[in-house]
Amino acid sequence: MQNLESKHPRTTEHKINYLIKKLSSTGGIFMNRIDKSKEKFEKLFGEGVAAAQATDPDLQDILSHFIFGEVFYQGNLDDKQRELITLVVLATNQTLPQLKAHVGAALNVGLTPVEIKEAIYQCAPYIGFPKTLNAINEVNEVFTAKNIALPVESQKTVDEDNRFQKGLATQVEIFGDVIKKMQESAPPNQKHIQEYLSAFCFGDFYTRGGLDLKTRELLTLCILSALGGAEGQVKAHVQGNKNVGNDKETLITAITHCLPYMGFPRTLNALACVNEIIPEN
């Protein structure tokens, strides 16, 4: 009589082993995780070996296999989008050596110097100018080493006369008429903050070329998530992302991609914000 256990495993251990084999044979998460990480790492960084491999090989293996063998394959974003997200999260965290490495990776996957610069510029209203300048310095060092001419082409689209109106129009496009109500209801001694938001954050930055509105809004969500303690703004930008056409799957994938760089607590907090604004069906 045929041994039925191989087809119908009965114990928990047998069932787990059976599922692992099935996943491996059908392309599941257990299939070629190490091979995937090696292939992705080489695509991003070339054929070199990470410095930590010599001193901390166990940690480097855990890192590489998780980030480049799992996270990079989760969800619906391409490598260009993932590298833009990586850049802004590393800039937010001021993890500058890793940022410098990922500038090279961003170029390797096909991002342009303008796109890279614009992603870092987008951080400024949220992390402040000093941190943004630190990040830009790393970008410029990589560009100089690769003989990329500086400055890159300007992406400015506003002037002193229209930056407020164009910024306000962009705010309304993202968030709706609630923006005008916020400005009208602000106390007189705080109206300047609302004006700064419109003219500076949205006028000076969101209106720039190089990245489209959906990309800028997705990057902003990742920046705010990485900051920590900005859940109110994270929720607002979850709604903003939804309004400009980034669906829940995209937001979950983007936040998941932030996980190795900002950790589980901030990732879980950001996902809670997503679920609150866009509940599961």
Q: How far apart are CA 137 and CA 54, in angstroms?
A: 28
Tell me what pLDDT residue 20 has. Answer: 56
Under a CB-based contact definition with an 8 Å cutoff, are residues 164 and 198 in contact?
A: yes
pLDDT in tens, 1-50: 444 444 455 666 666 665 555 554 444 545 589 999 999 999 999 988 88
pLDDT, one tens digit per residue, over 10-21 is 666 666 665 555
Give the tens place of pLDDT for each residue, 190-209. Answer: 999 999 999 999 999 999 99
> How far apart are alpha carbons 118 and 11 in whole angstroms?
55
Question: Does the structure show a pLDDT above 80 at 223?
Answer: yes
Q: Which of 230, 114, 213 is nearest to 173 (CA)?
A: 213
Contact status, residue 258 vs residue 225, Cβ threshold 8 Å? yes
The pLDDT, as a whole number, for residue 18 is: 59
pLDDT digits (tens, 9 = 90+) for 232-252: 999 999 999 999 999 999 999
What would the pLDDT profile of 75-120 be if each residue is shown by its tens digit?
999 999 999 999 999 999 999 999 999 999 999 999 999 999 999 9
Task: Return the exposure string of 62-93: e unless at least 16 CB atoms fall within 10 Å of the residue's CB, then b.
Answer: ebbbebbbebbeebebebebbbbbbbbbbbbb
What average pLDDT does the segment 222-233 reach?
98
pLDDT digits (tens, 9 = 90+) for 64-77: 999 999 999 999 99
Looking at every residue in the chain, the average pLDDT score rounds to 92
Return the residue matching tokens 């720039």.
Answer: 208
Domains of the chain in start order, with CATH, are 77-153 (1.20.1290.10), 155-216 (no CATH)
What does pTM read for this prediction? 0.88
pLDDT given for residue 49 in this prediction: 80
Better-predicted residue by pLDDT, 57 or 22: 57
Structure tokens at 151: 């400055």
Q: Residue 124: which H helix or E strand, with range?
A: helix 124-127
pLDDT of residue 254: 98
Strands (E), 40-184: none
Which strand (E) or helix (H) includes residue 270?
A: helix 264-277
pLDDT of residue 1: 44
So what's the pLDDT on residue 6? 46
From residue 168, how far is each of 71, 224, 246 by CA, in Å?
36, 20, 21
| C-alpha span between 121 and 88 (Å, rounded) | 9
Long-range contacts of 272-279 (CB under 8 A, 24+ apart): 272/231, 273/231, 273/234, 273/235, 273/238, 274/238, 274/248, 276/235, 277/235, 277/238, 277/239, 277/242, 278/238, 278/242, 278/248, 278/251
> What pLDDT is attached to residue 10?
60
**Cα–Cα distance for residue pair 188/256, rounded to 1 Å:** 41
Specify the pLDDT at position 4: 43
